[in-house]
Amino acid sequence: MSDLRLVRWTAVGVGVALGVLIPALLTDFLRTLAADAAIAGLIVLSLVLLTGMVGQISFCQYSFAAMGAFTVGSLVAGHHWDFWLALLVGVFFAAVVGVLVGFVALRLSGLFLAILTIGVALFFDRFVLAAGNWNSFSGGLSSWRPGRPSFFGIGLRGEYAFYLFAFGVLLAACLLVWNLRTGKTGRVLRAVRESEVAASTVGLNLTAWKLTAFGISAALAGLAGGLAAVRVGSVSAGSYDFLHSISIAAIAIVFGAGSIASAPAGGIFLIFGREALIDWTPFSTQWFDVILGAGLIFQLVHAPDGVVVDIERRITRRLRPPRQMPSESEQRSPERVPAEVG
Amino acid sequence: MILAEARFSLLPGLTVIGIVLGGTYALAAIGIVLIYRVSGVLNFAHGAVAMFSTFIAYQVSVVSGLPGWLGLLAAVAAGIAMGFIIERLTMRPLAGKPVLTKVVITIGWLIVLQAAAALIWKANAYHRAVKLVSKSGFRLTGTSVVVGYDQLTTLIVALVLALGTAAVLKYTMLGASMRAVADDPEAARLWGISVNRVTAASWMAGSAMAAIAGVLITPLITFDTFSLTLIVIDAFVAALIGRLTSLPYAVLGAFILGLVQEYPTAFTNNSGMHEVATFALLLIALAVLFRPGSRKLRVA
């Protein structure tokens, strides 16, 4: 096992251990925040899949999440369904909406996809979830109040139990995306991202792959929505609006959509960053978005790939064994690092 | 939506509102097209710039009680300043970088301006509209439709500025330089045109348009930070109808959008019909005008 892999798996192991242990020592309030962070991490992960792996941008991830959340809300609270079945249906609905958006996105890229997804987000905000239009789904003026489920006989009412559950889901999802990335799917998706023309000339079915990517990404977001519905215990449209979607996209970009580690890091930053702002500084939560936006701008002007990706690259560079033994003259010359960074 | 319940008597009044709304969208869309053509960047912060400038006008003329035209002037100045800052500090250093990076930066500006305005002027508070002209109006002869002087002014200002922009682009040296940079920045540079200066001018002019559009639209929509930021979508739809490059078609698109948004009110009480209309038009514009292989599509 090379140094690099050793470091990577040690980091993952330590991360998981800390993820399990630290919340055990925290208060219940901080545990709910930790669960929120895991859920937000799932949404960042959905963007890592879509933006980092396929190169498709999306500003409507919270609309996909809303599909999951409101399906769970209406089925569990309105129709007394079992949570797990409702969650399954919610994830499926989110995936369907994702595929629909992906279908329109097939012919678009970059800029136009960005406009389209903002359009989708507003359509959800102002129409689908607006009170009075589709109350059996949106709950109308009163919000759905789904109760917490139990997981194979273990009740998830306790905040620590629920956090562990959400954390487990995030880990599983990360593993799924990791598998997609290293396996055949990953190679295909990378090919699609790098050059659609080249990918189609080697016989890849672009349509199917792009739709799949949108579907899986939306499903992950929908899963996050379903979890958030029971974490909060109430589902209201305000938590799934356009501003949430662009904030999470900003976070994915700031941390780097190219790395799975951005998911937990982004989730923690989004939730605990706000909290830290209230607790430790005289600023209110609204400052968080000012800082986030300014961070995004600064980031893109100076290190366009993202913070986590940048750090990973630095570590990799230090640890990766030299491909061949450098000759004496090469040893004296510095590495060709700076060119790579830009 | 049942046609039998349609209130056709509302249509003439809705037409007036739709046209006035379209006029403000036209202004915003002209700014989008101007910036896009010259710098290749689709400015997602356009609505946020409009919103922030408008709140400057609000601060000057509603909070401080100064005359409305002074507020408008302050808004335009603020718009120009923001256009300059965005271009100079965050666009110019990225020359040669992928356009999408610059576009995402404008999203960063959207977040910053939106959050800052929400901090300063309170996101959900009620804000009195900036009053430029008296609200009284006149009855269109032979109908029951009353047109407000403010609505008429809005429409006239929008049309004058649209024609003015077209004239500047066509007849002045700056306009010619802008067109040259839009067509081929490299060639323009070789002809001795300062590409940077022209690009900055387009950002400043475009943002000034956004500011005027923002101030004029305040009586027509919910006047809060979020709603105003979102007029960027309306401006996009109008600009997309002009394939992001044609000013006349963008203006036409803006009027179509204004009307299409207003008419559903006669047929249904559902909320959010505005957005449904906008979304439908957006899909149509993207599907029809930007299909692969469509003419004149500038690959960005």
pLDDT tens column, A115-132: 999 999 999 988 888 877
- Confidence check: pLDDT of B247 > 70: yes
- Confidence check: pLDDT of A332 > 50: no
pLDDT at residue B142, as a whole number: 66
Q: What is the pLDDT of residues A22-70, one digit of tens each?
A: 888 888 899 999 999 999 999 999 999 998 888 888 999 999 999 999 9
3-state secondary structure chain B: CCHHHCCHHHHHHHHHHHHHHHHHHHHHHHHHHHHHHHHCCCCCCHHHHHHHHHHHHHHHHHHCCCCHHHHHHHHHHHHHHHHHHHHHHHHHHHCCCCHHHHHHHHHHHHHHHHHHHHHHHCCCCCCCCCCCCCCCEEECCCCCCEEEHHHHHHHHHHHHHHHHHHHHHHHCHHHHHHHHHHHCHHHHHHCCCCHHHHHHHHHHHHHHHHHHHHHHHCCCCCCCHHHHHCHHHHHHHHHHHCCCCCHHHHHHHHHHHHHHHHHHHHCCCCCCHHHHHHHHHHHHHHHHHCCCCCCCCCCC
- Can you say whether the dihedral through the CA atoms of A256, A261, A267, A268 is positive or negative? negative
Mutate to test the interface with A, among B105, B228, B278 (most CBs of A within 10 A): B105
Place of tokens 């499903």: A219
Out of B93, B99, B108, the one facing A250 most closely (by C-beta) is B108
Residues B225, B118 contacting (CB under 8 angstroms): yes
pLDDT at residue A263, as a whole number: 93
Six token digits for residue A313: 């690259």
**B85 vs B263: which has the higher pLDDT:** B85
**d(Cα A296, Cα A131) in Å, to the nearest integer?**
33
Q: Which of A146-150, A282-286, A319-323, B268-272 has the lowest mean pLDDT?
A: A319-323
Per CB-CB distance under 8 Å, the chain B contacts of A304 are 97, 101
> Which residues, numbered 159 to 178 in chain B, qualify as contacts with chain A under a Cβ-Cβ cut-off of 8 Å?
none
pLDDT at residue A321, as a whole number: 60
User: What mean pLDDT is predicted for residues A288-297?
Assistant: 90
B183-190 contacts at long range (C-beta below 8 A, 24 or more positions apart): none
pLDDT at residue A24, as a whole number: 85
**A52 vs A163: which has the higher pLDDT:** A163
pLDDT at residue B287, as a whole number: 81
CATH of domain B19-133+140-288: 1.10.3470
- Confidence check: pLDDT of B297 > 60: no
Q: What is the pLDDT of residues A202-251, one digit of tens each?
A: 777 778 888 999 999 999 999 999 999 999 888 888 889 898 999 999 99
> Which residues, numbered 283 to 322 in chain A, qualify as contacts with chain B under a Cβ-Cβ cut-off of 8 Å?
284, 286-290, 292-294, 296-297, 300-301, 304
**Are residues B109 and A290, on separate chains, in Cβ contact within 8 Å?**
no
pLDDT at residue A140, as a whole number: 75
pLDDT at residue A323, as a whole number: 58
pLDDT at residue B110, as a whole number: 94
Alpha-carbon gap: A290 to the closest alpha carbon of chain B (Å): 5
Alpha-carbon gap: A122 to the closest alpha carbon of chain B (Å): 7
pLDDT at residue A324, as a whole number: 56
If pLDDT is split at 50, 70 and 90, which confidence band does B292 have? low
Per CB-CB distance under 8 Å, the chain A contacts of B236 are 115
Count interface pairs A-B at CB distance under 8 A. Answer: 138
ipTM: 0.86
**Are residues A284 and B97, on separate chains, in Cβ contact within 8 Å?**
no
pLDDT at residue A245, as a whole number: 94
The C-alpha angle A59, A45, A159, rounded to 5 degrees, equals 110
Q: What is the pLDDT of residues A172-205, one digit of tens each?
A: 999 999 988 888 877 887 787 777 788 878 777 7
- Confidence check: pLDDT of A1 > 60: no
Q: What domains does chain A contain, in order, with CATH numbers?
A: 3-322+335-341 (1.10.3470)
B120-126 contacts at long range (C-beta below 8 A, 24 or more positions apart): B120/B55, B121/B55, B121/B58, B121/B59, B121/B225, B123/A286, B123/B224, B123/B225, B123/B226, B124/B224, B125/B224
Mutate to test the interface with B, among A248, A290, A291, A305 (most CBs of B within 10 A): A290
